[in-house]
Structure 1
Amino acid sequence: MADTLTPALPRLEDLQHWTWVLGRAQQMMLEHGLDLMEHVPSAPPFGMLLDPTPAVRASADFWADTMQLWQRFLDPAHAEPFVETTEQARDKRFKAPQWREDPIFDFLRQSYFVIADHMLRNVEALEHVDERQKDQIRFATKGFIDAMSPSNFPATNPQVIEKIVETKGENLLKGLQHMLQDMAKGQMTQTAAGAFELGRNLAMTPGKVVKRTPLYELIQYSPTTDEVLETPLVIFPPWINRFYILDLTPEKSFIRWAVDQGITVFVVSWRSADASMKDVVWDDYVERGQIDAIDTVRELLGVEGVHTIGYCVAGTTLAATLAVLAARDQAEKVKSATFFTAQVDFADAGELRVFVDDDQLAMIRSLSAEGFLDGRYMAATFNLLRGRDLIWNYVTNNYLMGQDYAPFDLLHWNSDVTNLPAAWHLSYLTDLYRDNKLIAPGALSIGGTPIDLSKVRTPSYIQAGREDHIAPPKSVWKMTHHFSGPHRFVLAGSGHIAGVVNPPAAKKYQYWTNSSPADSLETFLESASETSGSWWPDWLRWLAGIDGAKTTTNGARVPGMGALAAITEAPGEYVRTR
């Protein structure tokens, strides 16, 4: 049976053809670079523009590496061993032993790594190309490399070949069924359907909706302690996604944890956009969203100010809110501001900037004729940022292998898309990502109030994720340069989601802090202290240090017992609206 599962050795013509494919790919990359140079506006004549030496050297290096590949394949006993990089060794696409134990598939794996490495090096070697244009070329090249992985094709993936033999091809039929179902709904499936339901095994923290507006629902959570911090907490999640990323299963819920620590917690649940929201702009999310929610909680509980949290885009908006309140002499309404992976300076905003050019903006306009952008577009964009994990992984496992989808709460949330108001989304991309206006005093205004981040003196806790691909830590760090008030910067292990949703009980990852002044993230890290586990307790100590006064849990501290009657049970209605 084992012999039946082992693919036959390829013919010499097949190996020669594979070598030609590798060489042709390298040649095409070089030709593309030369062609690009010739068409750069205002570029000097071609002869003055490009020293051919790097191109010749790149070609020579590539063929030298290719010859080493052949020597390892034909005469492995006398060839130098293939030395993997750390990233290559950890590549989950090739973790199956067949990729190393079988000479044919080992050759394919090594060949793939060689061509990928040289293609990326050629991109970095491009000269006289605008940096944004190089970013686009780099992103496209990485996408092409991920797409062309031998793990993505039945004939070059040993596990798929074995599965075809084992199931007599039924895995491909099942995979085809998965693919057709995804095409019908216009979105790639990432987790088992029906495995999760809001209120049943997600978003289960007890609470009530105490206010509903055309823009948001305000949820107040039921206390679990006899005493609570006098200053309540208002959380603003990103409206690009559903709020329950902070209230997943009870074991992972930041909201439940915060309530159990004796905090009166409110969360804004944003409404998914429809045609009625075609005129909604950023001003509305600040004035009718964040400031309105802050004032509502202050009046409900009779407190001067609130603690706030802004996650991702809602953190960017929270920064603008603080600047507006400062300009209106109302800064006391917010006693502290915590930022989860949020940016205000978009000069180094990472690969998302690739999607902000005239062609991309024109496409978004064409997709938003009814006044809102379908959330599936944004979901696809974020998936492209991690195409290897969020696209090709499912192509291989669920389309080629025909495997059933595994239940995964985080991926259920990731697929639960939210529509965006088109006018706001376009202005956000142009004013912030493209033109970086938020850091320029007076370049933007809200309700006629100019925004100047340097006027913000509110104590802030700024959290970044070390491996964040959406809000890179270097970009998040820049927030420390634009506020005037005291701040605490914390770099958490992992990325945009897992770096935030990391409960202490999980005992995962780590975080870095540094009380010494630092003018850059690199300087911060040089003498930073590393602590194992979750940063949540560090944030709680910081919050108590801002205002540790406590009060008894009664009256309006209980949802529905104050001036605002309960409308419905948490998690509310807006979170269920597609």
Structure 2
Amino acid sequence: MTKRSAPTAATRQDDQLAAAQALDESVRAQWARTCGGLSPIALALAHTDWAMHMLSSPGRQAMLAQRALDLGQQAWASAMSPATSETTEKDARFSNPAWGQWPYNAITAGYKAMDTWFREAAQQGNGVSAHHQHMVNFFTGQTLDALSPSNWLWTNPEVLQTAQETGGQSLRDGWEFFLQDMQEQLTANPDTPADALEPLEYQVGKDVAVTPGKVVFRNHLIELIQYSPSTDKVQPEPILIVPSCIMKYYILDLSPHNSMVKYLVDQGHTVFIISWRNPDASDRDLKMQDYLSSGVLAAMAAAKTASGAPRLHTVGYCLGGTFLAIVAATLGRLARKPTERTAKEQALIPADLPELASVVLLAAQTDFAEPGDLGVFIDDAQLATLRQSMNERGYLSGKQMGGSFVYLASRGLLWGRNTRRYLMGEDDPSFDLMSWNADTTRLPARMHAEYLNALFLNNALSAGQYRFAGTTVALMDINAPMMVVATTRDHVSPWKSVYKIHLQTDTHVSFVLAEGGHNAGIVSEPGRPRRSYQIDSVEDNMGWTDPDDWKAQAPTTQGSWWEAMHAWLTARSGQPIAARPIPKAQALCDAPGTYVMTRYAD
């Protein structure tokens, strides 16, 4: 009988360490679930930093005490002043005239005074780290928005008035909506098969994503869709659209009246678009370089093969725009490289690629030093919590991602929605963009961790430290003309952050600032009311213009910026050529393809 050797001290120590780490991860995971997926350590550090500086600032405390008295007096005076027809209310939550009547005017005045005081108190500023200050400001605002009298039954005159007018039916309907939503949450199963999911209100391929076309290329990561021409002649340079893998591609091909794809096709452009595969746990090890190589670069090569065109216009949206900028810089560097390609370059970059006729970036960041409110979720502690969650599953779920975006605009997406639905009995609005928003996607664990760590946490791309194909990427190497589009109310890609492309490149840049947010500002079709944009161009050697100065002097045009993009692309295209149908031999299946149909319960 063979005797087992006794475990060594080192082995026992390794086992103890593994058990301790497992216990620590379990406790932190439970804390994170309690905090809505946020790191409790990061939250505690931020508020402790603020509190310690406040405790050591008696002068600041005295100023806030006096400010509280002043705001209280102003609130009392406002409550005692009767509302007039000339009174204007900028806050949409209190715009109904009923808020100007007693006692609701007093409630509103008191809330506004409290809101102002706490936001000013949160803004400590004396020694608090910028990231901690940002977190304290953000979560103070979240708390104050939650406490708004517009969110509660007995302090919202619109809710009470609607209940009276409907004989209480609005409250009964709201209660039914609440029970329905609670039941869905309690019975939700992340392993529910796709065919058992509730159908989308706007069905893909029937109501949205209906522009005619064919899938002409497919690999493990993408399907490439080519759209059928709708004009007799087309521009000789096709357009390749690179949407974000955070979303389903058809945000740019919604209903026919607001489809950017259909608009471009109808203007005489040959359009290709990438449809990213919705990943599962088996894709946990996909990397950023896979999305660049098997995604963007493979699509460019396939578009050249399918069209036969030697030059290609490119359009990248959100993270797809960041991918496109990296690829454009890499190709610009290779075009000036006098020596043979390295082994990594040969493996990751196809040899026969089209020349870039232009690069168009839509709400896409290339400098992540000022990512807006998204920065609240990006630090070492937060990323450690997120990595642990992703490693358990192999991916970031669509619901996790969607929850983060709700945080960014909680006043409207959470509290405003809850008030309308549960207190006023109004069902959620029905339109194609809302249906698309419910069609969530996943991201592979490794790719998402690399994206957040390299770009958001370390800002490697802007610093010239991001590496692809074995070499660092410098955006200064982009040698194609650029159009860069930002939107005025973008919580995901703030326009001043997007504007920094002027500091990073040395090529023609036409910058567009469009009215709207991250999605609605991009999906801004001709004919939509109250839409406008500013546009101005920077040529070589024109120097730097401050973004506020740019905004003050750039001309404003009423209407859709899509028309400006079409004119800009056309000016950089050759003479139109005869359109030709997509050869049957190239078609793998009809658009919208198969990858876009993959849905998950989580």
TM-score over 0.5 for the pair? yes
Cα deviation code 1:50-79 (max 9, x no counterpart): 2x2232122212222213333444x547xx
2:155 matched to which residue of 1?
156
Q: Are 1:312 and 2:335 matched, yes or no?
A: no
2:134 matched to which residue of 1?
135
1:19 matched to which residue of 2?
none
Residues in 2 aligned to 1:33 and 1:132: alpha-carbon distance in whole angstroms = 8
Greater shift after overlay, 222-231 or 367-376? 367-376
1:519 matched to which residue of 2?
545
2:168 matched to which residue of 1?
167
Aligned pairs for 1:194-205 (under 5 A) are 195-205=201-211
Cα deviation code 1:118-176 (max 9, x no counterpart): 11111224411001110111110111111111111222222333455522652353132
- How far did residue 310 of structure 1 move? 0.4
Question: What amino acid is the match of 1:116?
Answer: D
Residue 308 of structure 1 aligns to a residue in which SS? strand
2:105 matched to which residue of 1?
106
Contact 2:358–2:481 (CA<8 Å) still a contact in 1?
Answer: yes
- How far did residue 34 of structure 1 move? 9.7
Question: What amino acid is the match of 2:334?
Answer: R
1:9 matched to which residue of 2?
none
1:398 matched to which residue of 2?
421
1:493 to 496, 515, 518: 515
- How far did residue 212 of structure 1 move? 1.7
Q: Are 1:567 and 2:588 matched, yes or no?
A: yes
Contact 1:216–1:289 (CA<8 Å) still a contact in 2?
Answer: yes
Cα deviation code 1:159-212 (max 9, x no counterpart): 33345552265235313223314424769xxxx975311122211111111222
- CA distance 1:33–1:488, shift in 2 (3 Å): closer
Residues in 2 aligned to 1:399 and 1:573: alpha-carbon distance in whole angstroms = 37
Question: What amino acid is the match of 2:168?
Answer: T
1:420 to 430, 443, 447: 443
Residues in 2 aligned to 1:521 and 1:393: alpha-carbon distance in whole angstroms = 32
1:177 matched to which residue of 2?
179
Where structure 2 has 5 or more consecutive residues not aligned to the other structure, the ranges are 1-44, 190-197, 336-350
Residues in 1 aligned to 2:567 and 2:387: alpha-carbon distance in whole angstroms = 45
- CA distance 1:167–1:297, shift in 2 (3 Å): same
Contact 2:284–2:394 (CA<8 Å) still a contact in 1?
Answer: yes
- How far did residue 35 of structure 1 move? 5.9
2:251 matched to which residue of 1?
245
Residue 531 of structure 1 aligns to a residue in which SS? strand
Residues in 2 aligned to 1:186 and 1:520: alpha-carbon distance in whole angstroms = 49
- CA distance 1:150–1:465, shift in 2 (3 Å): same
Q: Are 1:349 and 2:387 matched, yes or no?
A: no
Contact 1:477–1:521 (CA<8 Å) still a contact in 2?
Answer: yes
Residue 505 of structure 1 aligns to a residue in which SS? coil
- CA distance 1:461–1:149, shift in 2 (3 Å): same
Contact 1:477–1:520 (CA<8 Å) still a contact in 2?
Answer: no
TM-score, normalised to structure 2, is 0.82
Where structure 1 has 5 or more consecutive residues not aligned to the other structure, the ranges are 1-31, 41-45
2:223 matched to which residue of 1?
217
- CA distance 1:309–1:186, shift in 2 (3 Å): farther
Question: What amino acid is the match of 1:550?
Answer: P
Question: What amino acid is the match of 2:553?
Answer: S
Aligned length: 523
2:560 to 531, 534, 544: 534
Question: What amino acid is the match of 1:286?
Answer: L
- CA distance 1:261–1:339, shift in 2 (3 Å): same
Residues in 1 aligned to 2:302 and 2:493: alpha-carbon distance in whole angstroms = 30
Residues in 1 aligned to 2:51 and 2:150: alpha-carbon distance in whole angstroms = 36
Residues in 2 aligned to 1:209 and 1:255: alpha-carbon distance in whole angstroms = 15
Contact 1:220–1:266 (CA<8 Å) still a contact in 2?
Answer: yes
Contact 1:338–1:462 (CA<8 Å) still a contact in 2?
Answer: yes
Residues in 2 aligned to 1:108 and 1:133: alpha-carbon distance in whole angstroms = 31
Residues in 1 aligned to 2:229 and 2:46: alpha-carbon distance in whole angstroms = 61
Cα deviation code 1:235-289 (max 9, x no counterpart): 0000101111111111101000000010000010101110121111110111110
Sequence identity percentage: 33
Residues in 2 aligned to 1:393 and 1:37: alpha-carbon distance in whole angstroms = 30
Contact 2:216–2:588 (CA<8 Å) still a contact in 1?
Answer: yes
Residue 234 of structure 1 aligns to a residue in which SS? strand
Aligned pairs for 1:61-100 (under 5 A) are 61-73=67-79, 75-76=80-81, 89-100=89-100
Residues in 2 aligned to 1:345 and 1:433: alpha-carbon distance in whole angstroms = 9
Cα deviation code 1:356-414 (max 9, x no counterpart): 11232122123211211111101010111110111111211112223222212111111
2:572 to 546, 549, 562: 546
Structural RMSD (CA): 2.6
